[in-house]
Amino acid sequence: MPTKPIDFATVRKIASALPDVEDASAYGSPAIKVRGKLLTCIPTNKSAEPDSLAVRIDIDQRAELVATAPDVYYFTDHYANYPMVLVRLSRIHPDALRDLLGAGWRFVTAKTRSGKRPIRKSAPRAK
């Protein structure tokens, strides 16, 4: 039996089971935030494929996801320096989406001892 296609309404329903999530917008598109911090959104950058979802996640976890299932997870040059993975909604299983949103929620809500998230330094810009 075919499953219902995953859309942002499905994402919203799955995310609503997580603590402190709220409907929001980011860059003019639907988003979900946790205590005001972006968890997931519909990507607006033209480099993202249609029907994709952007989820904040640790860059090392992103690399593992992309290596394991490149047909489902990807990122473009625009997102390379950001802790975010792009997901092809037509290819992800609802259980995998639930796990991904949970991992993203843990990433967004994680704190260091100082109470602040570590800042990832980017490479120096060319002049």
pLDDT for residue 48 is more than 70:
yes
The whole model's pTM is what?
Answer: 0.84
pLDDT for residue 119 is more than 60:
no
pLDDT at 3: 64
Q: Is residue 62 within 8 Å of 83, Cβ to Cβ?
A: yes
At the top level of CATH, the class of 8-107 is alpha beta
Query: For a pLDDT cut of 70, what percent of the chain falls above it?
Result: 85
User: CA Rg, the chain, in Å?
Assistant: 15
Angle at 76 between CA 99 and CA 98, to 5 degrees: 10
Q: Is residue 56 within 8 Å of 108, Cβ to Cβ?
A: yes
Q: Residue 124 — pLDDT band, cuts 50, 70, 90?
A: very low
